[in-house]
Chain A
Amino acid sequence: MAARVWQSVKGYVMISMDGLGLERVLNEAMRAGIRFGDVRRESRARLTARLYVRDFYALRKVCRKRRVRIRILEKHSIPLRLWGRLAPKALIWGWVPVLLLLLVASRFVWFVRVEGCYRVTQEEVLLLLEQQDVKPGTPVGELEHAAISRAVMAGDERIAWAGVRRAGVILTVRIVEAEPGAPEETEQKAYNLWAAEDGVILSITATDGEAMVRAGDAVRKGELLISGAGGEAEGIVIARVSRQATATQEPGAQGLVPSGVWVEKCRVFLWGWEIFPLEAGYDGWVFQRERTRYIRALLPIEVAAGRLMQMEEGTVQLERGEMERRARLRAQAALLAEIPESARIVSSTIKIDYDEDGNAVAIAVIQTEEDIGAPG
C-alpha cells in the first residue's frame, strides 16, 4: 500500500514491450537495477508493466540493444493529476499578482538616461540628478520635470538647457551644452593670422588684411590664413578641427583589497535590505557571501552566511567593463583639456580596443568648430 502511494507520488508509467525474447530483456533490466511492477503477458511477443519514470529511461537503453520496442501506455502521478486540475485556475489567478506587480512597478522610474553630453559627462549629470533624489527606484509621482530641469541647469554652468521626458519607467534627461563665449579680444596687434590647428575652413572673414584661404580649404597648422600685407591682419577663421586622444588602462589598478582580517557573519535580508544591521566598527568592511538560503514561505527573506572582510589599499584586478570605463574617461578628459573654451563640439566618438598585454585602449575623437586664427 505504502509502496503504491510512494509510486504515485514519484510518478510511474504503464509501458508495453514488443519483441522476442522478452524474458532476457527483463533479466538484463533487473540486473541494471530496474524494478518492474504488474508485469502481464498480453501475447507471445508482448507484455505490459509498470515502471518508475526514472527506470523507463534506463529500460529504453536496454531495449534498444535487444531490439525490443517499448511504448508508454499511461502516465500516472499525483503532481501530474493535481496539475491537470489546478493548472487552468493557477494560470488565471497567476495573472492577478503579475498584473499587480507590473502596475506597482510602473509607478517607479527604473532607468535614467542622459543625452547630449559632450563637455559635461553623463556621470556629472547623473550626480546632479541624484542630488535632486532622481535615481532608479524614484516614484513617478515625486518627479517634477520643470524643477529637475531647473536644478540641472543651475547645477552646472556648462549646461544651457535641460529637458526631462518620461516614457514609462524610463526617464530621459536631454541637455544642451552652453555655446562657447566669443573669443577674448586681444590688444596685441597682429601682422598676419596663422592656423593654430589642422582643419577644414568653414568660413573666413578678414576685417583687416587679405584672406589667403577660402571656405572648404584644408589647412595645416602654421599655414597663413590672413595676410596683413605689411599692415595689420584681423579676422575670424572658423574651421572644423578633429582631435584624437588615446588612453590606456591596465587590468590592475589601485583600490581596496582584503587585508586578510575577516570575521564569519550571518546576515538576514528582506528585499535586499538588511533586517539586523551590523554593529559599529565594521565601516568599510566588505561582506563576501559563501552560502545563501532563501526562506520564501511568506516573505522573500534571504539568509546569507559569509565573511566580513577588512579592506586596505592595494592593487585590484578590474573587470573589463570597469577597465573600459576608466580608459574612456581618461581619453575624454585628455581631449577636453586640449579644446579651447570657445570651441563648439559637434561630435564625439570613443572606440575601445585591447592591446596584446590585455590593456584597454580608448581612442577618443572629438570634432569642433573653432576660430583657428592665431596672430603672429
Chain B
Amino acid sequence: MAKRKRRHRITETLDLPLEVFPDTGKATLLSRSCLVLENHGGVLEYAAGLVRVITPDGIARVTGENLALRVLDAEKIEISGALASLEFEE
C-alpha cells in the first residue's frame, strides 16, 4: 500500500503517467466486449459468468455472460464476452 502511495506521489509530482512503472497493473476496456488486464498475477477463478484475476491492485472481478479468455499468457489476459462489471476486491 505504501509503495502504491509513493508511486502515486512521484507520478503526480513529475506529471508522469502511472505506466512508467512496468509492474503497474493495467486494465483496458475496448467497448463492452473486451477487457485487457496486463501485469496480472494469475487466474483465481474462471467461469462463463465470472472471472477473478489477481492484479497488483487487488483481485479484479469481472462479471458478464459467455466470458472467454481470448488471450492468456504470463503478461496479459484478454477477456471477451458480454461484460457487465469490473470490480476490485481488496
Tell me whether B43 and A37 are in contact (CB under 8 A). no
Tell me whether B73 and A34 are in contact (CB under 8 A). yes
Measured between beta carbons, the chain A residues less than 8 angstroms from B70 are: 37-39
Residue of B nearest to A33 (CB): B74
Tell me whether B43 and A27 are in contact (CB under 8 A). yes
Contact A41:B42 (CB < 8 A) given known A30-B74, A34-B73, A36-B73: no
Measured between beta carbons, the chain A residues less than 8 angstroms from B72 are: 26, 30, 35-37, 39, 49
Give the shortest distance, in Å, between A19 (CB) and chain B (any CB): 14
Bound form: Cα–Cα A38–B68 in Å: 6
Give the shortest distance, in Å, between B51 (CB) and chain A (any CB): 9
Main secondary structure of the interface of A (DSSP, over half): mixed
Contact-residue size bin, chain B (C-beta under 8 Å from the other chain): 10 to 19
Measured between beta carbons, the chain B residues less than 8 angstroms from A319 are: none
Task: List residues of A (169-216) whose CB comes within 8 Å of B's CBs.
Answer: none
Residue of B nearest to A35 (CB): B73
Measured between beta carbons, the chain B residues less than 8 angstroms from A44 are: 47
Give the shortest distance, in Å, between A52 (CB) and chain B (any CB): 11
Instruction: Choose from B44, B48, B73, B74 the contact partner of A41 (Cβ within 8 Å).
Output: B48
Measured between beta carbons, the chain B residues less than 8 angstroms from A34 are: 73
Is the CB of A40 closer than 8 A to any CB of chain B?
yes
Give the shortest distance, in Å, between A287 (CB) and chain B (any CB): 51
| Chain B positions 37 through 53: 1 when the CB is less than 8 Å from some CB of chain A, otherwise 0 | 00000111111100000
Bound form: Cα–Cα A34–B47 in Å: 21
Measured between beta carbons, the chain A residues less than 8 angstroms from B47 are: 41, 44
Tell me whether A36 and B43 are in contact (CB under 8 A). no
Tell me whether A39 and B69 are in contact (CB under 8 A). yes
Measured between beta carbons, the chain A residues less than 8 angstroms from B84 are: none
Residues in A lying within 8 Å of B, measured CB to CB: 22-23, 26-27, 30-31, 33-41, 44, 47, 49
